[in-house]
Amino acid sequence: MSTLTEAPPLAPVPEKKPPRKRGRLVPYWLLLPGILWLVVFFALPMVYQASTSVQTGSLEEGYKVTWHFATYWDALSEYWPQFLRSLLYAGAATILCLVLGYPLAYLIAFRAGRWRNLIMILVIAPFFTSFLIRTLAWKTILADSGPVVGALNTLHVLDVTSWLGWTSGDRVLATPLAVVCGLTYNFLPFMILPLYTSLERIDVRLHEAAGDLYARPITTFRRVTFPLSMPGVVSGTLLTFIPAAGDYVNADLLGSTDTRMVGNVIQTQFLRILDYPTAAALSFILMAAILAMVTVYIRKSGTEDLV
């Protein structure tokens, strides 16, 4: 006769202890160094610059905060040509970087194969050289007696650019074209890297599926590849346009007095004329304009998640 065995009693479920307060504060402690860095090296200088822009006085007598907001209007009304020129040059350089960088990024992402790492090294190799030295090198490349200018004269390219106002006669240096070329070269890697990152994430099976549906290569690029790479396009254009608009090195070394950008004006006001309120006001006007343009651009491109 079988006997029934009693099941062993279940072990009591341990009560969950509420997380200790110290553990909940760990993420905030980890964020503290970055927050302090931003406060000391970003927020405080911005506040100081804002107060400087509404000051009046001179270097000998000292500057005092008088809430003179007319400095903004005076600076904009006097230097609006340099301001518009900065946006124009930065926009032209950004478009050129996109036209040159997208095919290269596409090649690295889908066609480079075992040469991918080598090409990526070549893309970032200019960063191992000083920004100033790279810009000075363009003075030799675009010299009046150099092979580049000679080839452009042979092809009558300078005749067209001179008619458009981008060059002067048979020379390239000290012209808008030289400044845009310098900006394009120096900021081209900032366009290629985000484009490559975005293109690399695209599943190649989508291209195969488009081919199976009898889509031509140009249709596949227009309907599949380019829309999926829009985050990289937006990131690359922003990383190129924003620093290019505030750049002053290329305009100073490759341009002339007729190609001065707003960055050159700010540098002159800060370091030579010593008109700190005007320089600070121009800095805030440029920053506000770029911020407004970036906000509109991101919303129109449908990539608000980048903000």
Q: How far is it between the farthest Cα atoms of the chain? A: 116
Evaluate if residue 229 carries a pLDDT over 90: yes
Identify which has the larger pLDDT, 67 or 22.
67
pLDDT at 171: 84
- Look at residue 54 and tell me if it is in a domain: no
1: confidence class by pLDDT, cuts 50, 70, 90: very low
pLDDT tens digits, residue range 198-228?
Answer: 999 998 899 889 888 888 989 999 999 999 9
- Confidence tier at 24 by pLDDT (50, 70, 90): confident
Neighbours of 276 (CB within 10 A): 18
Q: 48-52, 157-161, 229-233 — which is least confidently predicted?
A: 157-161
What CATH number did the domain enclosing 217 receive?
A: 1.10.3720.10
Residue 184 domain-assigned (yes or no) = yes
> Quick one: pLDDT band at residue 12, thresholds 50, 70, 90?
low
pLDDT score of 170? 79
Q: Which residue has the higher pLDDT, 245 or 303?
A: 245
Determine, yes or no, domain membership for 4: no
Tell me if 295 is assigned to some domain: yes
pLDDT at 4 over 60: no
Residue 55 pLDDT exceeds 60:
yes
103-140 per-position pLDDT tens digit: 999 999 998 888 999 999 999 998 898 999 999 999 99
Q: How confident is residue 307, by pLDDT bands cut at 50, 70 and 90?
A: very low
Tell me how far apart the alpha carbons of residues 121 and 127 are, in angstroms, rounded to a whole number. 10
CB contact set of 168 (below 8 Å; sequence gap of 6+): 162, 174, 175
Q: How far is CA 176 from the centre of its chain?
A: 20
Angle at 173 between CA 167 and CA 178, to 5 degrees: 70
Number of separate domains in the chain: 1
Any idea which residue has 């990539």 for tokens?
303
**Residue 170's domain spans which residues?**
69-306
pTM for the predicted model, two decimal places: 0.85
Domain membership of residue 187 (yes or no) is yes
- DSSP one-letter code for 19: P
Phi then psi dihedrals of residue 267, to 5 deg: -60, -45
Residue 3, in any domain of the structure? no
Dihedral over Cα of 192, 193, 195, 201: its sign: positive
Radius of gyration over alpha carbons of the chain, in Å? 28
Q: How many angstroms from the chain centroid is the CA of residue 195?
A: 13
Residue 7 has pLDDT above 60, yes or no: no
Taking only the tens place, the pLDDT of each residue in 78-98 is 999 999 999 999 999 999 999
pLDDT of residue 148: 86
Please indicate, yes or no, if residue 144 is contained in any of the structural domains. Answer: yes
Residue 37 has pLDDT above 60, yes or no: yes
Q: CB of 240 within 8 A of CB of 94?
A: yes
